[in-house]
Amino acid sequence: MAELLGYLLAIDAIITWALASLVYKYCLGKTDPKANLLFRLVCVSISTFIFSLFFGNYGFFSNFSLRERNEYLIACIISGLSVTIGDLMYFISLKKIDASRAYPLTQLSLIFVYPFAFIFFDEEITISVFIGGILILSSIFFLSKKDISVEKNGNNSKDKEKSQENSEDILVGVILALGAAFCWACSIVSFHQARIIAGDVFVTNFMRILCATLFISALGLFQKEYYSGFKKKNRPNLKYYAFMGIAGSLSLGLADSFFYMAAEINGLILTATITANTPMIQLILSIIILKEKLRKRFILAVVLIIIGNLIILGLFPVII
């Protein structure tokens, strides 16, 4: 029963993350990423605090030693800052490339999770992990390959200039998506450590989001664009900021908590592997809802990601 609950929690996280990514893509077409970031964090801070009051237990703070408290707070700070920096990179990436291209790339965070787990949690990196990792990394080639937007015999200078700009956007978008993957991996590992120390998911999630909100709020004192989501001039776009806040509360606030609850039940590696199916769900939703182009290489890339993770778990036969 415990394993089934872990699977259900992971599936819920997959669907929520996939839907949230589409909301982000739609709203970022109307608003600025930095303006969205702080507004979204404030919404998520409120929601995660409410979740922690209902489902969490703050009693573990009274049992902490000074060392445990410091280690816990450091882990929360690292998780909060890394997930926020990763989110900003992802938001900017979404303004450069399609959601069906950006989101699968961010799932390469799994590649960074495994060596981190080896270093910090003494987990073994087997031959299966290495082979699976190579397959997952190979998917980058298919995801980053640009579309042919200009005919081979075309001589229109404007078309060529537009094509060059699109190529630059794709490259920047891919690099930012990979950066987001690395930051999210740091966040996953540090959150996992904080959860181990505290034994509570919902309070830990609130603590890391609070740290991120305080950091971006302080940064906004020097870069005013982070506060622009609250300004009167952006009231016509208030509904888009609200959509981002709701999506963030459900994704970063609730779905992330479900993911770590599932990791506590079924283990981090198994849970992370299950959620590697998210790009496939997101791809289908992008085509249906956002009317994005169906690219065969995207499907191949997602299949490589899934097979790579199955090999890592030993669920896919490998002949050495």
Tens-digit pLDDT profile for residues 120-167: 666 666 677 667 767 766 765 665 555 554 444 445 555 544 444 467
pLDDT score for 162: 47
Q: Give the Cα separation of 48 and 51 in Å (integer).
A: 5
Query: For residue 180, is it within any domain?
Result: yes
Residue 107: DSSP 8-state: T
pLDDT in tens, 234-253: 778 888 888 999 999 999 88
**229, 242 in Cβ contact below 8 A?**
no
State pTM to two decimals: 0.79
Taking 50 as the threshold, does the pLDDT of residue 43 lie above it?
A: yes
Query: For residue 300, is it within any domain?
Result: yes
- Percent of residues in the chain assigned helix, strand, coil, to nearest 5: 85, 0, 15
Selection from 180, 220, 286, 173 nearest residue 41 by Cα: 220
pLDDT tier at 308 (50, 70, 90 boundaries)? confident
Query: For residue 171, is it within any domain?
Result: yes
Query: For residue 319, is it within any domain?
Result: no
Task: Say which range, 66-80, 156-170, 202-216, 291-305, has the weakest mean pLDDT.
Answer: 156-170
DSSP structure string for 115-135: HHHHHHH-----HHHHHHHHH
HSE at residue 114, side-chain half, CA atoms within 13 A, is 24
Residue 153: DSSP 8-state: T
Please give the structure tokens belonging to residue 237.
Answer: 């776009």
Greater confidence (85 vs 286) lies with 85
pLDDT in tens, 288-305: 776 767 667 777 777 777
HSE at residue 223, side-chain half, CA atoms within 13 A, is 11
* Count of residues making up the chain: 320
Q: At what angle do helices 201-220 and 66-96 cross, to 10 degrees?
A: 60
Query: For residue 318, is it within any domain?
Result: no
Mean per-residue pLDDT of the chain: 79
pLDDT score for 122: 67
Query: For residue 182, is it within any domain?
Result: yes
Which domain covers residue 87, as residue numbers? Answer: 2-312
Query: For residue 317, is it within any domain?
Result: no
Taking 50 as the threshold, does the pLDDT of residue 24 lie above it?
A: yes
Question: Cα dihedral sign for 308, 309, 312, 314?
Answer: negative
Selection from 124, 256, 95, 118 nearest residue 187 by Cα: 256
For the residues 267-274, what does the mean pLDDT come to?
75
Query: For residue 91, is it within any domain?
Result: yes
A 10 A CB-CB count for 51 gives 19
Domain count, the chain: 1
DSSP structure string for 226-269: GGGGGSGGGGGGHHHHHHHHHHHIIIIIIIHHHHHHHHHHH-HH
For the residues 265-283, what does the mean pLDDT come to?
75
